[in-house]
Every structure is written in C-alpha cells, then in structure tokens.
A and B are shown apart, each in its own frame.
Chain A
Amino acid sequence: MTAEDQSLIVIALLPFLGALFPGVMIRAGRNACAIFTALPTALALTMLLIHAPQVLDGQVITAELNWLPQLGLSASFFLDGLGLLFAGMILGVGLLITLYARYYLSGDDPMGQFYTYLLLFQGAMLGIVLSNNILLLLIFWELTSLSSFLLIGYWKHLPEGRQGARMALAVTGAGGLAMIGGMLILGQIVGSYDLTDILAAGDQIRASEWYVPALILILLGAFTKSAQFPFHFWLPHAMAAPTPVSAYLHSATMVKAGVFLMARMWPALSGTPEWFYIVSTIGLITMVLGALIALFKDDLKALLAFSTVSHLGLLTMLLGFGTPMAAVAAVFHIINHLTFKAALFMTAGIVDHEAHTRDIKRLGGLRTLMPVTFTIGTLAALSMAGIIPLNGFLSKEMMLEEASHTDWAGSHYAVPILATIGALLSVAYSFRFIVHVFLGPVRDDYPHKPHDPSFGMWAAPALLVGLVVLIGLQPVLVEPLVKIAAGAVTGGDLPDFHLKIWHGITPALYMSIVAVLGGAVLLAMHAPLDRIWIAAPRPEAKAIFDRLMGVCVGLSRRITEATHDGALTRYLAIFVVATVALGFAAWRGGSMPAPTRGLLPIPPMAAVGWILLLVATASMVAVHRNRFRALVVMGVIGLTISVGFVYLSAPDLALTQISVETVTIMFLLLALHYMPKSSPIESGAVRRVRDGVIAIAAGCGVGALAYAFMLRDTATIADYHLANSYEGGGGTNVVNVILVDFRGYDTYGEIIVLGIAGLIIFALMEALLSGPAARKLRNTDYSKDRSRDRHPLMMVVATRVMMPIAVVVGIYIFLRGHNQPGGGFVAGLVISIALLMQYMASGFAWTQSRQRIEYHAMIGLGAVIAGLTGAGAWLAGRPFLTSAFGYVHIPPIEEFELATAMLFDLGVFLTVLGAVMLMLYSLSRIARYAGETMNVEPMDYDPSDRTRLARQGEN
C-alpha cells in the first residue's frame, strides 16, 4: 500500500529553508530568532502529523523528484512506520530543544548561528529517515556529521569544544566513508539504489558473496555514528557542546542514526550468523562497558554520555538478536530512551546553569534548593534505572526477556548474565545521579547558589517526564506506533503482542530484581570502588586517538612537503612530462587507423609565412629575457597566425585574432612599464637542457598528434549547422550563427567569464593600490623610461581623426556579423582599440573625463541584455536562447534582417567592450600612483597656444 504525496519533499526541505532565517532574525531579538526556528519545525511536524493516520493504517507515503534516472539518482522520499517514529522524534524534540536553548544560551553566545546549525542538523537528520534512495541517504548522513561538527564546536573559544568536534567528525566521517562503500556494494548487488528495492531483495543480498564486506562496511558507519565499542570514545568528548546540543544530538537523534540505519537495513541484512554475532556482541560489550564507565564519571554530562553509549549498545544488541520481538523491544526502547535521556540532559544543563558546576563531587543536596528540577530529574533517572511503573521499566523488561532466551555460541547463560550486569550497572549510575546530586545535606560551597530556573527552561524536560510517566502507566497509547514502526523494521510479520506493565513472574522479573538490588548495593559501595577505579590503569581513548591522528597528520604532511614544495616550475614539468608519456603510451597501445585524406599543396606564400612563424617562435625563446623584444616577436607570431586563418577559410578567426593580438600587446606593454624590463639568467645549463628536452618532446608529440589528426576524417556535425544556419538561425555566417544561436549558451558563459575577468582585474588593482604596493609605486622613479613628449601632436590629431572611422568600422562589423565575417566579439574589440588609441594619444585624464558610461555598468548591461534576450524565448514558449528573426524593408535602404540573435550579439559586444576597457583602465590607474602628472589638456605642448599667446601679445 503506497500513496504518493509530494508534500513529503516539502517536509524534508523545510528545515533547510528555515535555516536561512535565524541568522537574519537575530537582529530582531532572541525571541524572534527562537520563534523563527520553531516555525519551520512546527510546520514540518504538523505536516508530518497530518500524514500520521495514513501511516498508522499501514500505508507508505512516497514522493519522488527525478534527477538523473540513468544513474539511479533521484531525490525520492518515503514515510513508513519507522520513518514516522524517527521524524516525529526529530521534529518534536527539535521543538523542545529550541525552547530550552532560548533560555539556556547566554547573551554572549551568537544565537542566530546556533539555531541555523540546529536547523541544518535537523534537516540532515530528517533527510536520513525519509530518504528512499541510499545515495541520497548517504548525502544526508554526511551532512549530519558536518552539521554536528558545527554544533559540537559551537563554543569556538573552548579547546575541548574544538577538539571534541574534530574527533566526532573524524570518527563519524570515517565511518560514513566506509558506509558509502557498503551502500555502493548493496546497490551493485541489487541493481538499484532505491531503498524499497534493496529491502525487498534481502535474500539476494544475503546470498551474495559480497554480503560480508557490505555488512561490515555498513556496520562501521552505523557503529561509529552510534558510538559503539570500540568507537564509543568520541561521544563523551562531544559533550563539550552546549547542553541543548547534547540533549538533541547525543541522546535523541544523531547517535540514534546508527541504530536507525541498522533497523532500516534489518530486512536486507539481518538473519545471518554474521549479523547476529557482530551486532549483538558489539552491542552487549558496549552496553556493559558504557554502564561501567558511567558509574565512575563525576561530570554529570559524562555520566549521561556513557549511559547513552550503554543504552545505544542495548538497542544494537536487541537489533542484533534478529527476532521480531527483539525488534519490538528496540523500537519501544528508542521511544523511552528518548524521553528520559533528553529530560536528563536538560536537567543536567539546568544544574550546570544554576550551580555553575556539573561535577557530582561538588554537588548534592539540591533537593530542597531546586524542587522542580529534583522532581523532573528523579523521575527521569528512575525510568533510566528501569523502576516500575515508569516507561524505562517496560522496555527493560522486554530486553531482559529477549536476552533470557538467547544462546550465544552454544552458551545459554552468557547473554542473560551480561545483560543483567548491564542493567545492574545502569541502576547503579541512575541512582547515583539522584542520590549524589539531589539528596544528601545542603552544602554551602556551591560555585553559585542554585535555585529553580524559569518556567521556559524546565517546561521542555517536564513535558518529557510527563511522557515518561504516561507511557509507563498507559503503554497502550504508543502501542500502534510501536507496532507500525516495528513492522517496518521487520518487514511486516510481527507476533501478536501487547505492551503492558505486568507480565507475570518471568525470568526477566527476577533479573530485574537482581539488577535493582545489586545496583543499590553497588552505589552504597561507590566510594571505595571509585578509589580502586581511579587507581586502576586503563587505556585512555583520547590519548590513543590523538597519537593516531598525529601519525596520520605527520604522514600526510611529509607527503605534502615532499610533493608540493612550492616550486611551480617543478609541478609544470611533472605535468608536461606525464602528459607526454600518457600520449605516447596511448599511441603505442592504440591502433592508429590508416590516413584517409591527402595533403594539401603548400603555395609559396604559405611557405614564407611558415618560415616566418618558425623563426619568430625560435627567436621568442632566444630573446625572451629582453621583454620588449619578446613582445614585438609575439606580435609577429599573432599576425602570422591570423594571416594563416584567412588562408585556411576562417575569416572570423582572423579578424578576432588580429584584434585580440592588438589588445593583448597593448595590455602587456602597459604592464611591462611597471615590471623589470628583462629576466635575469637564473637556471643553469643542465636545467635549461632538461627543459629543452621536455619542451621538444612535448612539441614533437603535439605536432605529430595534430598531423595524424588532420589526415583522418571523422564524423562531424558540421552538416547540421550548415543546413540549418539560414533557415533556423537566419544568418549566412555560420560561425556567427553558431555563436549566437546554436551554441548561444556557451557564448553566454564565455562573455560572463570575460566580464568576471575584467572585474577580477579591477578588484586586484583596487586591493593592490590600497596595500604596500601603492607606497612602493610612489617611491619608485619611472620618469627615466618615459618619453619626453608624452602626447605627441601628430598622434593626438591622427587618433582624433581615426576615432569616428574606427567606430564606423566597428558598427559595420557588428551589423554585418550575422551574414558576413564579423560579429559582437570582433566589434567589441575594434571599438575598444579605437578608444584605447584615445587613451594612449591624449592621455588618461583627458579621455576619462569624456567617458559617459562606467565600464562596470557596460559589462553588467551586456550580460543582462544577452540574458534577457535568451530568456525572451521563454515568453514564446521556446527553450532559452532560441532566436527569432524577420526581414524588414525600409526604403530607400535595402531589405535587411532583424534577429533577436543580433540583440544577443549586442550583449556580447557590450560585455567584451566593457571588460577589455575595464582591464586597461585598471592598469592605467597605476600610472597615477606612480606619480604621473594628470593632463587635462590633450597635448603637453599645443602649438595653437603659441598663436593665441602671440595674438594676446599683439593686443
């Protein structure tokens, strides 16, 4: 029974959307911030509850957004009983935590940040429990690791917080990586990444030879997340987080993600001896060990942390048993543990908040000082101890019952005895929480005189304790939820059962009685035992972890330092050699087809150009130390190449090349003015020979590749472009039509890149001129290499005359671009050259004062025009950048064409012009810092002045 409902996606996304608000709302105050955190949570919870009746009826609600169905990637969600239970817990406790944190966090803590992290975490968690695609689940899984890192390290000023956050991230992150491997194997076995498919293919998975690797990898992920032995050590260190975080992440939600995963994967993975022995054994060890350590912890939160470890072990063990009733007990205990443990963490937070310490040895006697807190804490702790009639008792009884008839490796007593010991220790530390904190005499040396907090702070734990009592007395209330969730775990078949307090005289009851009595005795003997515990040597997990991390960091640092020594030339050399070697290997290994094309003849002019190019290239290498000469040679190379383009049927390329060449050389010349004019000889002969060999090898390789390439035909899509250029794009210049129509998207990207390059240069210059470079520029004397007459008369006059001509040429090239060689790119470059000439001839200030449009604006305008033109196609119901065109006849002008592509080309034109001008403008700003005088007059020496002066003299 499934029903589709897209609102599931909204539920999953709500926390992420909500995460945008707290950071902003904090400006409106702490209450507003908290309210805007609670709103999305409450909304998601409401939507979830609307679905609840359907789910409790046994329906599964699904929602799917297809993304890359070919790869099995889709954002698909589903809500079944287990998902409903966890989602309800995440959102419900999330609400309570939001309330609690509002009062817990002090005014100095950045609350907006906290709530943002909290919502991010909540969204990630919700994503895990609702995902129907394991790849999606993995993403959310990693997100919980990341967001919990932020939350644990929330108090950035505390070293414990930072270290705890790092440790949690390292451990859970590593587990997550292992799990990715396991999940991918599962996906390969089943042939689908849909969780529903995987859960249905349990037999296939268990029969596969990849079952054990997949199981171990997935369990690694689950065990690290749920702090199972031997990965339990990160959880207590994560307690450096603010208490709301501990209550939320480390009792109710994140650490249960591992348990959730095991429950979710139960139908697919459980039922084998491997599953039983790995999962139940680890769970059992964790349960006993965690409880034992918890008993001797003096920090309230550490005690609770280890008790959480212990209870997570209990849940793991139950899931490991693999029987349906154990699954029921696990699900029920998840609910119960949530209620009492979150309440206990909040109680610990209240004690810490009020007494300014959470060291048990400094507390005691709080019963009379904090009666409300005492009541809440005691009830919750009694439930944790499993005292009748609280809810902890019920699920503990079920656990003991299951344990009592589980054989482990042929032994009938191992599991029951260890489980009883675990329960006994659990009773002991729960009683210790009550007795050593609240009972006993009132002391007069608390760091701060404690009293009950305001209602807002104890409301959330009180509500949870209310649930503790209610579920304990009336377990029938949660029975449908437990049934449907446990049914989802086992995949349907459950024995008929009822949750109730009294099961009669059963082995579990005896075990329970032993546990309670033994626990009380143990607590009575706590003081001497504690001394033994402190004296006993035991491995310190943090020290081991730190040593391990130290080794890893040292190793990676050595590798990094050995390979990345900051010598760029070395990286480049390695890169070139590797590329050449790869190309060579490909040539040796692959079979080259025979040439299919003949050679074109070489006319004498081409031979001349060829020799010119080769000589120029060689002399470039020879003269590159003299930078001015190298630029001249570069100009020669560029021009020769553009002539080559003309000859080889590429007029558009020739036009572009020649104009780009001009602009590039101008730019380099301007830059060179402020750089050394020559490069010193720095590399020795050996090195130069080595570089020469590498270079020649690369040149031969690329040349041979080009040659081989040109002699063989391949299938091209040229015919499509040629056939559709006129009908589809309305232009006869196919290159231009491709640029503005067929591949308009590319072009749009290109002009944006160019615009960004312009802005980068502007920004770099801005940063440069406000740094130490500006001082250096002022103190350097550049006047020696400046010409005497900076703005020669001839040049000023000539460029002034040429300006309109150049602009007309630019416009002409632009207009004819659609049908003849030309277009926006070339036109933009031509116009910028025309403008540059003015800058060069008449000086910066004179030209600048005549500039009307900011170059930044021009870039933006260009991008907007091009974008809007493209978007305009949407209005006509066509895809982005589909062009429309028509022909207009206005006498006496010849019939001409109007195409939207032209508008797009206008955008290209403006962006190119703006970017090029912005680049050169930025560079010329240096001149002002270098002490260049500003010219308001176009010429330093104006001959007309003399006539004027002479006339004045006459008068």
Chain B
Amino acid sequence: MEIVVATSVGALTAAGVYLILRLRAFAVILGLALLSYAVNIFLFASGRLTVNQPPILSPYGEASYTDPLPQALVLTAIVISFGMTAVLVMVALGAHLESGSDRIDLDKPDAGEDEALEGPAQ
C-alpha cells in the first residue's frame, strides 16, 4: 500500500510541476491544485498508513488508532488550499478581463518605459 501512496504522490507532484511550468494561468491553477493534493497526501502519510483504525475512540475498551494529528492538519490544509485556489482563480480571471490574456509571464519592458520609471535624474 505504501508503494501505491508514494507513487500517487510522485505522479501528482510530477503532473503538478509540469503544469505550473506552463505559460497560462489556468494551467498553473490546475497544477497548484494537483500539488496541493500531493502535499496533503504526503502530510497525511506522515502519520503512517493504517487500515480500519480511524481515530474515533471506541466505547468498547482497548483499540488501536491511527495518528490523528496529521489528519487534523491536513483537514485545515484542504480547506485553506480551496481558499488559495479561489483567490488565484479570481486573480487570473481579473488579469484576463483587464489585459485580455491569461499569460503569466511579464513581457519585456521597453527601453522607453524604463526611463519613465526612473523619473527625473537627481
């Protein structure tokens, strides 16, 4: 089972990294979503894998449980990554509507623009 989880994390990371290296905001958002999946699973797996031992205390005496702490951390991480994705989408949408393109790289500034930024010389 560990191999399954590790390869899944690896595959999600690889796909995520490939997508964040694309030139369009939407692909980057998808890539970041995949990367958050990968990170969440990774964090979750840091509690080691167990089957059929949910961290719900049993009223019937002794039982063994999986590590609940990574789960709690990942739970909030999932919600936060949703918030992050939403903000990114909004930024991308705004950029697209304002500039007409959702490219993420800046164009090279012209020489003239550079002069203007500098302002009057001292």
Contact = CB atoms under 8 A, between A and B. Distances in A.
Interface of A: 159, 163, 546, 565-570, 572-573, 576, 597, 599-602, 606-607, 610, 613-614, 617-618, 620-621, 624-625, 627, 630, 634, 637-638, 641, 644-645, 647-653, 656-657, 660, 663-664, 667-668, 671-672, 674-676, 679-680, 682-683, 691-692, 694-696, 698-700, 702-707, 709-711, 713, 716-718, 721-722, 725-726, 732-735, 738-739, 743, 746-747, 750, 753-754, 757-758, 760-761, 764-765, 767-768, 771-773, 776-777, 819-821, 825, 829, 912, 915-916, 919, 922-923, 926
Contacts of A757: 83-84, 86-87
B45 A660 contact: no
Contact of B102 (A568, A663, A676, A733): A676
A709 B9 CA distance: 12
A899 B66 CA distance: 25
Nearest to A595: B2
Contact of B24 (A634, A679, A702, A704): A679
A694 B17 contact: yes
Interface string B80-91: 111111110111
B90 A761 contact: yes
- Size category of the binding interface on chain B: 35 or more
B48 A637 contact: no
A913 to B, nearest CB: 12
7 contacts: A565-B108, A597-B48, A674-B97, A695-B17, A699-B15, A700-B14, A716-B67
A706 B45 contact: yes
Interface string B50-88: 111111111100000111110111111011111111110
A649 B7 contact: no
Contacts of B6: 703-704, 706-707, 710
Given A657-B78, A702-B42, A709-B45, A691 B71 contact: no
Contacts of B46: 709
Interface in B1-59: 1-24, 26-27, 29-30, 33-34, 37-38, 40-42, 44-59
Given A569-B104, A620-B15, A734-B56, 8 more contacts: A576-B17, A576-B21, A637-B37, A691-B17, A702-B38, A739-B76, A754-B79, A915-B83
Contacts of B92: 671, 675
Given A624-B30, A700-B10, A709-B45, A617 B76 contact: no
Contacts of B21: 569, 572-573, 576, 691, 694-695
Find the residue from A663, A675, A764, A771 having the highest chain B CB count within 10 A. A675
Given A568-B105, A614-B8, A709-B46, A624 B19 contact: yes
A922 B59 CA distance: 46
B41 A641 contact: yes
A682 B105 CA distance: 12
B106 interface: yes
Contact of A821 (B16, B22, B48, B56): B56
Contact of B26 (A620, A627, A732, A926): A627
A641 B87 CA distance: 23
Contacts of A773: 94, 97-98
Contacts of B23: 569, 682-683
Nearest to B29: A668
A698 B7 contact: no
Nearest to A624: B27
Contact of A546 (B40, B56, B71, B122): B122
Interface of B: 1-24, 26-27, 29-30, 33-34, 37-38, 40-42, 44-59, 65-69, 71-76, 78-87, 89-94, 96-98, 100, 102, 104-109, 122
Contacts of A645: 44
A739 B55 CA distance: 13
B51 A725 contact: no
A600 B49 contact: yes
Contacts of A758: 83
Contacts of B16: 695
A367 to B, nearest CB: 40
Nearest to A764: B90
B41 to A, nearest CB: 7
A403 to B, nearest CB: 41
A649 B14 contact: no
B13 A699 contact: yes
When A and B form their complex, which 6 residue pairs have the shortest distance between CB atoms, in order from nearest?
A703-B10, A699-B14, A566-B106, A757-B83, A707-B6, A773-B97
Contacts of B74: 650, 653
A698 B56 contact: no
Contacts of A573: 21
Contacts of B93: 671, 674-675, 768, 923, 926
A889 B107 CA distance: 68
Contact of A618 (B11, B38, B53, B109): B11
Find the residue from A620, A692, A733, A760 having the highest chain B CB count within 10 A. A620
Given A613-B11, A649-B50, A776-B97, A630 B30 contact: yes
B22 A760 contact: no
Contacts of A718: 47, 65-69
B49 A648 contact: yes
A912 B86 CA distance: 13
B75 A710 contact: no
Contacts of B17: 576, 691, 694-695, 698-699
A625 B3 CA distance: 30
A649 B15 contact: no
A707 B45 CA distance: 9
Contacts of A725: 57, 68
Contacts of B55: 649, 722, 733-735
Contacts of A820: 56
A638 B36 CA distance: 11
Contacts of B47: 716, 718
Given A649-B53, A735-B75, A821-B54, A617 B15 contact: yes
A617 B11 contact: yes
Contact of B69 (A568, A679, A721): A721
A652 B71 CA distance: 8
A713 B8 CA distance: 21
B2 A660 contact: no
Contacts of B5: 644, 648, 706, 710
Nearest to A625: B27
A674 B92 CA distance: 11
B51 A648 contact: yes
A721 to B, nearest CB: 6
A750 B76 CA distance: 7
Given A675-B102, A773-B98, A706 B71 contact: no
B56 A733 contact: yes
Contacts of B50: 648-649
A912 B20 contact: no
B30 A764 contact: no
Contact of B18 (A672, A695, A764, A771): A695
Given A630-B30, A692-B18, A674 B96 contact: yes
Contacts of B67: 716, 718
A614 B3 CA distance: 13
Given A620-B30, A649-B53, A757-B84, A602 B18 contact: no
Contact of A569 (B98, B105, B108): B105
B69 A667 contact: no
B22 A624 contact: yes
Given A675-B92, A710-B45, A768-B97, A653 B13 contact: no
Contacts of A641: 37, 40-41
A579 B70 CA distance: 23
Contacts of B12: 613, 617, 637, 699
Contacts of B78: 653, 656-657, 660
Contacts of B107: 566
Contacts of B71: 650, 652-653, 735
